[in-house]
Chains A and B, each alone.
Chain A
Amino acid sequence: MTEQGNGNARAARGVPIESVRPHQFVGQRLRRKEDARLVSGKGRYLADLVVPGMRHAAVLRSPVPHGRIAEFDASEALALPGVDAVFTGRDLIGKVGPFVEGGRLEISPMLMEKVHPEVKPHAMPVLAADDVHFVGQPVAVVVAASRYLAEDALDLVRVDYEELPVVTDPEAALAPGAPVLHGHLGDNVAAHFVIASGDVDAELGSAPHVYRGRFEVGRQASNAMEPRGVLATSDRGTGDLTVWCTNARPHLVRTFLSEMLRMPLDRIRVISPDMGGSFGTGVFSEDFLIPFVARQLGRPVRWVEDRSENLLVTRHGRDQVHLVEVGYDDDGRILALKDRFLVDAGAYNQYAITVSYNAAAHARNQFDIPAVRLEGLNVLTNKAPVAPVRGAGRPEVTFMMDRIVDIVAHETGIDPVDCRRRNLVRPEQMPYHADIPYRDGVDIVYDRADFPAQLAQLCDLVDYGAFRKEQAEARRRGRRLGIGFSSYMEGSGFGPHEGAVVRVDTNGHVTVYTGANAHGQGLATTLAQVCADQLGVTPEDVTVRMGDTSYIPYGVGTFASRSAVTAGTATGVAAGLVREKALAIAAEVLEVSSSDLELEEGTVKVRGTPSRQISLGEVARAAAPGPRSRLPAGMDPVLEAEHYYVPPTVTWSSGTHAAVVEVDEETGFVRVLRYLTVDDCGQMLNPTIVEGQVHGGVALGLGEALTEEVIYDAAGQPLTGTYMDYLLPTTTETPPITVAHQVFPSEVNPFGIKGCGEGGAVGPPAAVANAIVDALRPLDVRISRVPIHPERLLELIEEAKAEAAQDGRPSARS
């Protein structure tokens, strides 16, 4: 089902352009501009960058999860030929500031005011000087002539640790007497908040049935194809710093560098070269350590993270426990949701309440639940810090909520799809006021969408009726097939802003500069599409440049499903401003009124007199400063415009997923046979790119559902240090994915765009879990944790069988 984009008719909502031009290239399945280069191996990734005189760094990491560093001794390492320097945590004291409370910057003042979250500051040092709090925490860095030598030297740096008691479980970390990670905090609670809508306790009190349960989502690592890396050079004469780093937020890295190294922003240039993925926001020790070291040594230094380091420390996510109480009635209507949840933040809670609040804000999902109360705690443990990872709180609560819907369906004897439908927010309730603020502090109002239609479309796509027959048939032959659903909301296009500069050169070629920074999302293509439509050129005429702080003064970056919305809108508006400027200049040149002009395919024409035209290049030449300028009086030279889009709030994308699985009842093994999605991300800029995002997201989500988990033993040692133990789904585990869309353009921005970067990853845990439960009916297998390990599933199956045998009936629960 599609509602037309109708961009031309819509007013240029809240942006300084007179009108929004209709979509022409936007919405088309253009081939990605970046592919020819990237697919043929001509990308330039961090490890491809070489600077004359460059040295190589390797980072020494704590092997103990909690300890006090008694002594450093680097003398043997320093004696190794080819080793330039070793810096320990103690060498950095007073020279490099600790991480600023990055996360605190991310809490919107409006949210602070409305929710009053408690966030306890605790800075993470770039290198640990005294205490270490997790295995993998950086404690020293070696710089040498090659990475091989640097690693040889790592073996020789001696660090003596006095080991301290360890806590790896968030519930244990809250218990009295638990080892406290950061003494000055008093306990291990790093952040805490409560939000509520309606009177939950009253609803629970009067609800005909109350379900109490616990849901867990294991720790997942993000595994970008390219691990991180940093290369820094410090100009010998000026001391100016140039830093290349695999980071989706070059401007943020620059801000931190400026504070931590106490340098003016303008003397630091941060560049993100081509990046093989990211999976979220975040800054890391090495982003600051390597520039510091390069400055100290006066020579370029490069560090490239290896896969072991990546698995150990880089952007772990999820790791949540939800304790819920749910009130519902005999019709399967959910009346109240009370959720107290713990985010295992690891050893440093670097992102304040980003993940936990995200979880809370998305918990209600597509469902019209009259009363909710959500209490989130970020708890410190001796594990690597947790970061916002693609989905960032949404997969966790969606797993919880969609399992609840299925449980309620089962308890009430209602078909799971029907039960889901009964609880959905209905079209006539839209715009739906959720009565809780979003992470930006603005009260949540769901964007236009039709959830029942979304579910119906998916049921058609999967052919629900036919599947039930196939399932019954398969069961007769001893095969257990199941289907499971999940629906989700995706607040997307988070602010606070993103900017774009659109400039036309004197040959008529257009360049877009933006602070967003793609690493697989295809922004070089989609922003060119937006620009082309609003300016009146073709996407081939447009080059998109990003990932460099010298391009544009402010930038936020690419994460949180935000760039299509924010950079897309900024680009469209800036392009529109350029068009208006071009028309004004052309009017001057052609001596007509600008209202008689139109700009198409790079040429300004007088309407009705096609012979009178002027190319965009000529307009740009007329806009150049100097005696040949034909600028209207008072107009600034250069055919360019800059626009920072400040979204009033997020857009609300949504989606519904279905998984079809087969379960081996005797081994607990699960195979996902089919996966189907219907999403609504508003006006799609390029459906092929949207579908690529969905595919990648679904693969990540399937990993989360079934195989991927960062596991620590009780002593705090990680057990999943290689890809033999950390199991990413590969092409052989990823089933065919069918992607379909609903299109309800966003009301929030003038181009109707909603984000789509994370949704794919949000649905699979719940859809797969529900499918497994469905496959095993009439047994009542109660999956409450992902990933679903075959051994655990086998246990659950055995438990359910034992219970059924005891009850004397297959699925007896009241």
Chain B
Amino acid sequence: MKPAPFDYVAARSLDEALAALADAGEGGKVLAGGQSLVPLLALRLARPDVLVDVNQIAGLDRLVVDDHRLVIGALVRHRAVELDERVRRAFPLVSAAAAQIGHVAIRNRGTVGGSVAHADPAAEWPTLLLALDGEVEVASPRGRRVIGAGDLYAGYLTTTLEADEVVCEVRGTLPEGRIGTSFLELARREGDFAIVGVAAVLAREGDVVRHCRLALSGVGSTPVRARGAEELLAGGPADDAAIAAAARTVADEMDPPGDIHGSADYRRKVAEVLVRRALCAARDEIGTVVAQ
């Protein structure tokens, strides 16, 4: 379990990192927290020529929390998000999700940018990014660009990032008004990648669902937004029957993978259960989150 040979560049600035990546061409890889990349190196499943360590780059670790907007620098560690009081108040689903990433030691090292870029369909951050209608800002020698969450994920562990692009910032929003959120996941052990994870956001006006977002992990080669169910709920009541119908729609519309932790069929079944529970939890939370 020793990595194949590679060169190592400890970039001191974003420009240095971008230059090193440009030099390396397809053979370069960003090293952030190393919690996904290093195991892949050790198993020789990843064999980059050059590792560009971005940990020393200043300015990639800001964490801005407004009432409805969240801005997270790529180098912010999972643990910092998990423990942030502002996040807990304004984005409780984000705190809940961050707390379910691996174990404390992993959360102390792993970064939000790394997780978003790694694109594990069972991971928390990519799913959150969808639920927050988020976007990432990336830098390359050609300048900066912003990629919407819906355009970022191309397949299993695959993004639309170019080899020389570095994620700088991750941003997301929650709708205004009376909202409720929840994040639930089913994992064989605490800290495992989810068999199925669900992020739910409900905004309500009177008794009617004004807006709904549902994102799921573990049910496809990328994290998915359950648009069909969202539409089903929007404009109607958030009663048990409506929620159950939405959950059923999610299950019907998905095409999950199967593995030893759960077959496609099982994932479909438990996704329905989790969606139902997540929506109920979000509904029940409405009113407890004070938003101006």
Contacts and interface: CB of A to CB of B under 8 A. Distances in A.
Interface in B174-221: 186, 188-193
Given A148-B2, A667-B273, A727-B188, A308 B263 contact: no
A669 interface: yes
B186 A669 contact: yes
Given A148-B2, A151-B2, A711 B260 contact: yes
Given A666-B273, A791-B263, A732 B186 contact: no
A732 B1 contact: no
A727 B260 CA distance: 11
B260 A719 contact: yes
Contacts of B3: 148
Interface residues of B, number: 25
Interface string A126-166: 00000000000000000000011001100100000000000
Contacts of A520: none
A151 B189 CA distance: 32
A722 B2 contact: no
Interface residues of A, number: 26
Contacts of B191: 730, 732
Given A148-B2, A719-B260, A791-B266, A707 B188 contact: yes
B4 interface: yes
Given A666-B273, A711-B260, A152 B4 contact: yes
Most buried by A among B260, B262, B269: B260
A330 interface: no
Main secondary structure of the interface of B (DSSP, over half): loop
A727 B189 contact: yes
A306 interface: yes
Contact of A707 (B2, B39, B189, B269): B189
Interface string A282-309: 0000000000000000000000001110
Contacts of A308: 1, 43
A711 B1 CA distance: 21
A730 B270 CA distance: 24
Nearest to B263: A791
A307 B43 CA distance: 10
A807 interface: no
A790 interface: yes
A794 interface: yes
B5 interface: yes
A80 to B, nearest CB: 11
Given A147-B2, A152-B4, A666-B273, A791 B262 contact: yes
B190 A306 contact: no
Contact of B190 (A724, A725, A732, A790): A732
Nearest to A309: B1
A729 B189 CA distance: 7
Nearest to A308: B1
A713 B58 CA distance: 48
A147 B262 CA distance: 36
A732 B189 contact: yes
A354 interface: no
16 contacts: A151-B44, A152-B4, A666-B270, A667-B270, A667-B274, A669-B186, A707-B189, A711-B260, A719-B260, A724-B193, A725-B261, A730-B191, A733-B189, A790-B262, A791-B266, A794-B266
Interface of A: 147-148, 151-152, 155, 306-308, 666-667, 669, 707, 711, 719-720, 722, 724-725, 727, 729-730, 732-733, 790-791, 794
Interface of B: 1-5, 39, 43-44, 103, 186, 188-193, 260-263, 266, 269-270, 273-274
- Which 6 A/B pairs are nearest by Cβ-Cβ distance? A306-B1, A732-B190, A791-B266, A666-B273, A148-B2, A151-B2
